[in-house]
Structure 1
Amino acid sequence: MILSDLSIKRPIFAAVMMLVLVTLGIFSYRRLSVEMYPNVEFPVISIVTKYPGASPETVEREVSKRIEEAVNQIAGVKHVFSYSRESVSTVVVQFRLEERINEVSQEARAKINSVRGELPTGIEDPVIQKIDFNALPVVSLALQSGSLSQRELTTLMDKRIRKRFEGVAGVGKVEVVGGAKREVSVHVDPVRLESLGLGVNDVVAGLQSENVNTPLGRITRGGVEYPLRIEGKPDRVADYRAMVIAQKGGRPVTLGEVATVTDGVEERRTLALVNGAPAIGIDIYKQSGANQVEVVDNVRKTMEKVRRELPPGVELSLVRDGSIMTRQSLADVEETLVVGGILTIIIVFLFINSWRSTVITGVTLPISVISAFIVMNAMGMTLNVMTLMALSLAIGLLIDDAIVVRENIVRHLEMGKDHMEASRFGTSEIGLAVFATTMSILAVFVPVAFMKGIVGRFFFPFGITVSFAVLVSLFVSFTLDPMLSSRWHDPAIHAHGKRKGLARWLETFNDWFDRSADRYRLAIAWALDHRKTVVATAGITFFLGLALMGTLESSFMVDEDTSEFQVSFKSAPEASISETEDRLNRVLAALKGIPEIDHSYATIGAGDSGTVRDGLLYMKLKEKSARNRSQFEIERLVRERLRQVAGITFSIEKVGVIASTAKPLNVDLKGDDIALLKKYAAQLKELMYTIPGIVDISATLEHDIPEYRLRVDREKALSAGVSSNDVVMSLSRLVGGEAVTTYEDEDGDAVDVRVRLPEGLRENPAQVRDLKISVPDGAGGTKLIPLASVSTETVAATPTEVNRRDQSRLVTVSANLDRLPIGTAVKKVEGVSKKITMEPGYSINFSGEAEDMAESFGYMGESLMLAVVFVFLILAAQFESFFEPLAIMLSLPLSIVGMAGMLKLTGDTINIMVLIGLIMLMGLVTKNAILLVDYAKVLRRRDGLPRREAIIEAGRTRLRPIVMTTLAMIFGMLPLFLGIGAGGEGRAPMARAVIGGLITSSLLTLIVVPVMYTYMDDLALWLRRKWRGEEQRSNGGTGIS
């Protein structure tokens, strides 16, 4: 072969090529970012539109539906979701994965601008932004103090702490939860306002006109230029009381006459607790594409600096570190990689019994692994669990080519050839077969890398990393290994019978193996004499494997013990933040005394869509080694205790997991009538409660909130000179409150000045209706119009939110699963849902994880078929025949029985990782068969052996490299198989599937492939004879001889 001959002749050239690969690999490794999962960009955007004071149904009707209709016209839209809540519309547009997010965002903006005039006048401008599914806090900090008030602590955080973290490299956003932000409160007295003939709009206008600091220009005096500035803002909060806001009856009216001015705090809408104690939470998000581990390290360094600068009695602590699982998982996978490599080298040494030959073979491993970082860096990948797991699984693959090449070289050395000749001839003889086996591996990993759907995006780095590393291992096997074999003489090869100690014991083992190989001759001979029995046995084994596969349950991904989880809960729909806080305290009390909980971090109202009814409790557990119970057992205990807490609905969720929904099981009921949807959802919930393992069941729209509605009588309003906008503006200021201007504090920072009614009046709807609205009187003044005279009041129950999918109303029944695979849960829910009689136009579908699983399994099936086709085409090119490859292809299904048996034994389900393992097996199984069939053909063609003798001799000769490579792959994956370490549960099923399939396929292949080869050879011979016979008859009929 050209490469091997060149390397043998020019050893320095071969060494330089390896040094270049290693150097570039190390350089690339240092530039790789570290993440838990691959960076995957999903073309999904959200359009958030605020409509203050609007009910969910109003938001749906006037905002969400119109935006849906506009964006649904964009090419490439896959799904359109909308979530209409009180005062907020959120429309989420999911595009096909091949669409570019920046381009579709521009199109969406253009579509919304085209319908902007159709939207209500009271809305804020829609905000369009890309959804980052990695946008979870990487760090959460807590600020606490036993000496400072919450207001003082919040001021300290705003002035001295927040900006420090916002300036940390890689930090994208800092979100503060809890605390008490300073605010100047202006609580107007409606009675005093009425007595003076003023309205709230007059107060607002007066504040805005008087509370100003404005530059007016410049004046020059004595050759010196001075800026001129008017200072109308008070120096003290108390001075606001004397501020003139209007003129009535020829005298000025001050703010203090019509309102109470206090230096207070904003209305509390969020809350944070650490281990049950009040705190200010600081959730820190990283920038898109930033290195998670580096960002966390930078935040930790800044935190230590800030700690040293804090006043006495103030503590800043870290309550959640999103990088811990990433660090532990990566460290464990790296350890798995190293241990797998060591075990692989031990297997090589066991069979070769020479440390020089082991080094020559084993040097392929570090070069291939290090070189893989080159393609990872060049393609913008990160160092994550998927890429490192790819290398861990490929450890056995990366040394396969070197094993086969070195074993063949050693065999020729034992035949008496010198090192130069043995290296050249041994590599050349096996080269084409090694090349074909490597191509068969690429044939299965390349389709994995280019699968469609979400799973394809996540496994793209996996497939590319393995493919490149395998190509490098092939390159090393054809260059460095022959060169070292030709130059580095190995005296152990000819030391048979002279070894001592371990070498002597290994020689005894190899002698036993040689005797076993001789007995394998007899096994092949027997198989060739009983071909029908062998084929029948193989067929029975295949169907047995299929039957065993049918008994396995299915799931999307495997649950992992991450030593952390969170409880998401909701209080009653009408609950205030105080009520939700009371429920949270009850939750904390219920969970008190669980020894495995290290600490807790609770929030209310956090996040973009959080309300005062939404609570989130994060719980960090002690490390796995420090507790006797698993995370899943602790979650079950937490669930049992929380069921005793009245007034909440809750869900136990994973932390930091990328998913389309919070709960794994989601059942969508679609239709138009909300009442009917709620009825069907209630029936489905009752049926789901009867299924063991389905827990935390909830449904959207199951709780309505009471709503006071004021309907403006247009005729009365018109006659009174009042518009609907006048009513909206006045009530939004009086009830909702409005920050109309700012006060500059002692440090020059802006403090909101908020105008509204006192809390006691805001809580009483009857008193709200007694309010009067000020409107122009047409003579340059204002007049007061009673609100009750132009409106009617009704009390109604309205949904907390109205959800839609693809322009149809939707109610989703969702649930968690307590050790119940999603596939089994779906089947059981499908069964019970048939008991619900639904009207035409209503349907039940599964979404979330079940939908993702079905889609991903379909794409993986396509990849499996593509891999099989590619393997067949490579074999056809290798053997120059379309029949002989069938002998190998028909052996592929034999791996199923081993895979299914192993999964049954370990209790695993069929999941994404297992299916990737199945695809891998299609390439791995062919490697052994290629070595056997290829050498049989060589013996028939080169040495003229009859078919039977050639097959028997090929089996005897290739048994050693086949067993070596199989054991190398098995032991290389053994650390992954055991599932030890952080996240090990999720990685283990792939290795278990591959190892189980390899064991049975290797054993059966050694017997079945020789038999199938003879059948295919007979078929080819029969077809050739038939073709020649037809040709002769055709020639005889035409007189052509």
Structure 2
Amino acid sequence: MRLVKTSVKRPVGVIMIVLAIIALGVVSLRSLAVDLFPKIDLPIAVVATPYSDAAPEDIENLISRPIESSISSVEGVNTIQSQSQSGASLVLIMFNNGVDLDQALLDIRERVDQIKGFLPQQAGDPNIMRFNPDQMPVMWVGLTGDDAATLTNVANDQIVPYFERQGGVASVTVEGAKTREIQLVLDEAKLQQYGVNAQSIMQALSSQNRSASVGTVEKGNKDLQLRVSGTFESIDDIKQTILQTQTGATIHVEDVADVNDSYKKDTGLTLVNGEQSLVLSIMKKTDGNTVEVATNVKDGIADLSTDLPEGVELEVVIDTSEFIEMSIDSVVKNILIGGVISLFVLLLFLRSIRATIVIGASIPIAIISTFTLMYFTGETLNVLTLGGLALGLGMMVDSSIVILENIYSYRQRGYNLVDSAIKGASELAPAVIASTTTTLVVFLPIVFVQGIASDLFTPLALAVAFSLIASLVVAVTLVPMLSSKLLSKAMDNHGRRYWFNRFLEKVGNGYSGVLKWALKHRKTTVGGTILAIVLSLGLIPFIGAEFIPGADQGQMQIQVETEPGTSLDKTEKLVEQVNEKLVEYEDLIETSFVSVGGGGMGMGSANGASYTIQLIPSTERDVSTNEVVQDLTEDLQGIAGAEITVGAMDGGMSMGDPISIQLNGPEHEVLRDLAEEVVDTIATVNGVHNPSTAASEGIPQMTIEIDKEKAAMYGLTQDQILSQISLLFTGQVATQYREEGTEMDVTLMYPEEKRSTINDLQDMKIQTPTGAVIPLDEVAGFVERQGPVSLLRQNQQPQMNVSTDIADRDLASVVSDIESILEDMQFPEGYTYSMGGQAEDMAESFADLALALIFSIFLVYAVMAIQFENFLFPFIIMFSLPATVVGVMLGLFVTDLPLSIPGFIGIIMLAGIVVNNSIVLVDYINILRRRGMERFEAIVEAGKSRLRPILMTTLTTVLAMVPLGLALGEGAEMQQPLAVTIIFGLGVSTIFTLVLIPVVYSLFDDLTGKFTRRKKKEKEA
């Protein structure tokens, strides 16, 4: 090949190109974004609409249903789910894969804008956003001190603006902050005395707190803009707001209300390590580098700490970048260990330090080149892409080994260094290219894989493909050039490692004996192989399956749920009991914070609390996170008055509940009963852990039933009565007051003692249009009942979800048992169930990957058919694939790992790897037979002579993956199934290849011979 000749003849040019590639790779490496996992693009949009203090039924009817109807016709919508909860509506729109989500979001905004005018006036504006796992916080920072109000001011005025200026930071959210408001506490007696009602006060405040442009006027040669300024400049202005009484007298707001500069009522609080604090959640930009963002924030904390008020402290609570850095470090260490092992194997086989250097040079150059290609394709540096490099490490030297051995053979024939390098590399370059192509084509069917499997598979596939392409280029350019300069003599047969050569000879002789026996007992050999495959398939029930292996990130979550309607104070007391239990685990807990009440997008409630706990690194503790979870679960069950669940967090790659059973039907009430029944039923399944349902106990409600006839007698409408009740119990925002650039609500409310009990409601006075006052129970009745906590809908039909974690069993086995139980349950007519969560994602991903595997096998066959220009020999070589099943199943069984997406990806990669040994073997058998050697002797001779390169390439590939297979270091659990699959699959397949493929070759040769002889006889006849 001209490329080989040019590289040997122009070594300076090759060296300069290599140096340029190294420099570009180093620059690319510094610019690559670092993250734990690849970017997962979920085609999901969210519409969140706040509606304070509204019941779930009202939110469903007035907000969720209209929004669902308006967006249901948007193109590409797959599923619409809504959650109507007291205070807010949350609508999730899931699109089909391939949909342009940016355009879809525009369509949703247009549809929602069209119906916005029909939503309740008290409801907030719908917030439409794109759901992205990358938008999870990368850090939580705690701000502690004695005064929550001071902390709020410090956070809003000083810390948040500073953090948002840091590189890569998208936004900062403050939890547990106080919200300032101007409260106008109405005096009911004085209102009656002056004949003023709340509505007139609101009108006065709104009309007297306005500024507006009213035109222009000429003054000389200039036009002056006319502007009436009437906004409140101080709280005294609010107090002095003029009110007109019914008698025409003039009074001020302060005559009928106390004006207080205060804070909104707490709906939640946060505690960091047991102390009341504010927690700042740091969000990174979509293309931000998590590690870089965390570093910038930590540097910012150091700078801010000197300027904080006395007694106020700022500290990192949870930093997700720490686990990322530890995971990346562990993968890099595994790569280095694998590289050293590969070099040791090469040194053992080649018995030459110079030859080892020639081949070993391909490893760092291929890796550095891969960084450059990753940068230009927009990939991130994460555990999967680095894992792909580690997996490709052993395969990187395969092409170089084949080229170098052929160069040696020419050198031993008496050719000089330059001619040996050119002829040896040129002769095998096409075969090496074809062999590498069989490994690369298995990644082409990735275009048929969609969803999460594609998001995980593609970066790893690109990393492996880039490294192999780079190593191939090195093999046909740099290796011949270095061979022509560094290898002054061919490898001799003596030296201090001659013992290994003798060992290989013994292995070769033993293999020849086994091969001869197999060729004489072909039926036994084939039958034994089939039996081994069948027995290995019998291990499937013992192996099981899961979606994604969980990494021990040391993050836990504790959910505390008290009875619906429980006050915030009562929930806080239960949290204190949980804190007392956590003291026993203080040696394992690094930091923790708890959010009591509140919640994201208004979906929290006072009867709930959520802990986020960071354990010390796994290398510093003797127990896993799951073991801590189980121990804590037992210890916390003794706390009465709350339902407490403990679970491990997936950190940067949350995939939802392992199992989610979606119940669908026409009535919410029936679904709630069914959900409770399902929870009780599946709780008996082995492996089910903490089953729960969204159909929790109802919130106690007092339903006010207005008698419209009686109300009309007093000149009252239902809306007028509702507004007066709402004003009494929730208050009402009259206007906005601006002070030093900050806007705050001016809220009308009644004193706390007037709106806290049922008697206050029943004794409430309703003012009629004539000014008369009547008790509420004169025009309304009261019925106490249990209302739902939240109402779920899917595709505009009521839904209820039952979710559960799993423990001590694989996901597939638990799902199988649950489905068997559900099939035996008697569901009412019109009610159905479906499996969701990770179970659904796993089934879809496995189906897509199975399709990709089938196409990969076909492409491998097609490449080999082109290489051999024959249909039969590739077919013989493909018999090495079924034997791979034995190694894969045995490996997963021995290591006690269920089959998962990484393991399935390993099987697809094996389809392109295991055939390489068979190609080498069959190709050499044909060469010997063309030289005139008899078939039996050709097979035995080919097996014995090709045993050495087959062992060398197999051992470099397998042993380089051993560190990943052992899951050494943080975050290595993700690549472990992939490494184990390839280690055992390739190792066992190599053994079968060396014995089975020669037997299959002889069988098909006999079959071809019979067919040829029959054709010959027919032709002669």
Pairwise TM-score range, normalised by the shorter structure: over 0.9
1:831 aligns to 2:814 (yes or no): no
Q: CA deviation at 1:488?
A: 2.4
Q: Distance in 1 between matches of 2:75 and 2:229?
A: 55
Amino acid at match of 1:54: A
What does 1:402-801 align with in structure 2 at a 5 Å threshold? 402-448=400-446, 451-491=449-489, 493-494=491-492, 496-497=493-494, 499=495, 504=496, 506-594=497-585, 595-604=587-596, 605-608=598-601, 609-655=603-649, 657=651, 662-717=656-711, 720-745=714-739, 747=740, 749-772=742-765, 787-801=776-790
Deviations 1:872-913 (A, max 9, x none): 111111222212112211121112222222222221111112
Give the Cα separation in 2 of the matches to 1:812 and 1:761: 40
Residue 1036 of structure 1 corresponds to which residue in structure 2? none
Q: Given that residues 37 and 652 in structure 2 are in contact (C-alpha distance below 8 angstroms), is that contact kept between their aligned partners in structure 1?
A: no
Question: Deviation string for 1:943-984 (max 9, x for gaps)?
Answer: 233332322222222111110011101111011011111112
Match of 2:877 in 1: 888
In the alignment, is the contact (CA less than 8 A) between 1:399 and 1:473 conserved in 2? yes
Q: Is 1:175 paired with 2:173? A: yes
Comparing 510-519 and 641-650, the one that deviates more: 510-519
2:191 partner amino acid: L
Amino acid of the structure 2 residue aligned with 1:479: T
* Cα 1:52/1:784, change in 2 over 3 Å: farther
Amino acid at match of 1:141: V
RMSD of the TM alignment (CA)?
A: 2.7
Q: Note the C-alpha offset of 1:313.
A: 1.5
SS in 2 for 1:592: helix
1:234 and 1:805 map into 2 onto residues whose CA distance is: 47
Of the three residues 993, 1009, 1015, the one matched with 1:1005 is 993
Query: Structure 1 length as normaliser, TM-score?
Result: 0.93
Contact 2:318 2:591 in 1 (8 A): no
Moved more, 631-640 or 608-617: 608-617
CA distance, structure 1, for counterparts of residue 245 and residue 120 of structure 2: 35
Aligned to 2:194: 196
| Structure 2 partner of 1:919 | 908
Deviations 1:512-553 (A, max 9, x none): 213432443333233222222211111111112111233212
**Structure 2 equivalent of residue 6 of structure 1:** 6
Does 1:1019 find its partner at 2:1007?
yes
Matched letter for residue 827 of structure 1: S
In the alignment, structure 2 segments of 5+ residues that lack a partner are none
Task: Give the counterpart letter for 1:102 in structure 2.
Answer: D
1:967 is matched with which residue?
955
Note if contact 1:659-1:849 (Cα within 8 Å) is conserved in structure 2. Answer: no
CA distance in 2 between counterparts of 1:989 and 1:169 reads 36
Q: After superposition, where does 1:172-251 map in structure 2 within 5 Å?
A: 172-211=170-209, 237=235, 240-251=238-249
1:100 counterpart letter in structure 2: D
SS, match of residue 893 in structure 1:
coil
- For 1:845 and 1:239, how far apart are their aligned partners in 2? 61
Structure 1 residue 464 displacement after superposition: 1.4
**Aligned mates of 1:406, 1:264 — CA distance in 2:** 81
Of the three residues 936, 954, 968, the one matched with 2:925 is 936
SS at match of 1:521: helix
Inter-partner Cα distance in structure 2 for 1:1020 and 1:16: 53
Report if aligned partners of 1:573, 1:800 keep a CA contact under 8 Å in 2.
Answer: yes
Give the C-alpha shift of residue 17 in structure 1. 4.0
Change (3 A) 1:226 1:313: farther
Aligned counterpart, 1:76: 76
Report if aligned partners of 1:38, 1:458 keep a CA contact under 8 Å in 2.
yes
Q: Is the 8 A contact 2:143 2:314 kept in 1?
A: yes
- Provide the residue aligned with 2:933 in structure 1: 945
Question: How far apart are the structure 1 equivalents of 2:459 and 2:289?
Answer: 17
Structure 1 match to 2:301: 303
Contact 1:590 1:645 in 2 (8 A): no
CA distance in 1, matches of 2:676, 2:686: 18
Distance between the aligned counterparts of 1:44 and 1:307, measured in 2?
Answer: 39
My pick for the range that moved more, 845-854 or 601-610, is 601-610
Which residue does the alignment assign to 1:158?
A: 156
Which letter does structure 1 place at the counterpart of 2:967? G
Question: Distance in 2 between the 1:658 and 1:853 partners?
Answer: 19
Distance 1:62 1:749, change over 3 A: closer
**In structure 2, how many angstroms separate the alpha carbons of the residues matched to 1:413 and 1:234?**
95
Residue correspondence of structure 1 range 89-100 to structure 2 within 5 A: 89-100=89-100
What is the identity, as a one-letter code, of the residue corresponding to 2:42? F
Give the structure 2 partner of residue 1039 of structure 1: none
Further displaced range: 435-444 or 944-953: 944-953
Query: 2:551 touches 2:650 (CA, 8 Å); kept in 1?
Result: no
Measure the CA separation in 2 of the matches of 1:925 and 1:1032.
Answer: 43
**CA apart distance, 1:77:** 1.8
Counterparts in 2 of 1:536 and 1:145: CA distance versus 1, 3 Å: same
Code of the aligned partner of 1:922? A
How far, CA to CA, are the matches of 2:396 and 2:817 in structure 1? 44
Q: 1:19-30 counterparts in 2 under 5 A?
A: 19-30=19-30
Post-superposition CA distance 1:771-804 (Å, at most 9, x none): 4556766xxxx77676545544333321111112
Structure 1 residue 999: Cα displacement:
1.7
Aligned to 2:18: 18
1:819–1:990: structure 2 CA closer, same or farther, 3 Å change rule? same
Work out whether 1:862 is the aligned partner of 2:851.
Answer: yes
User: Following superposition of structure 1 onto structure 2, how do residues 358-373 of structure 1 map, counting pairs within 5 Å?
Assistant: 358-373=356-371
Q: What is the TM-score with the length of structure 2 in the denominator?
A: 0.94
- Partner of 2:423, secondary structure, is helix
Amino acid paired to 2:90? T
Counterpart residue type for residue 104 of structure 1: A
SS at match of 2:287: coil
| Contact 2:291 2:321 survives alignment (8 Å) | yes
Residue 853 (1) aligns with residue 845 (2): no
Distance 2:310 2:54 in 1: 46
Q: What residue in structure 2 maps to residue 110 of structure 1?
A: 110
Code of the residue aligned with 1:667 in structure 2: it is I
CA distance in 2, matches of 1:660, 1:80: 21
8 Å contact from structure 1 (residues 446, 467) kept in 2: no
Distance 1:64 1:769, change over 3 A: same
| Match in the other structure for 1:353 | 351
Cα–Cα, structure 1 residues 121 and 235, in superposed 2: closer, same or farther, change >3 Å? closer
1:903 aligns with 2:895: no
C-alpha deviation, 1:713, in angstroms: 4.2
Residue deviations 1:824-869 (CA, integer Å, cap 9, x gap): 2112222333442211221222110110111111111111111111
Contact 2:704 2:781 in 1 (8 A): yes
Give the Cα separation in 1 of the matches to 2:296 and 2:726: 43
Mapped partners of 1:396, 1:254: distance in 2:
85
Q: Is this contact kept in 2: 1:200–1:734, CA < 8 A?
A: no
Q: Matched residues, percent identical?
A: 31
Query: CA, structure 1 residues 982+429, in 2 after alignment: closer, same or farther (shift >3 Å)?
Result: same
AA aligned to 1:201 is Q
- Identify the residue that residue 31 of structure 1 maps to in structure 2: 31
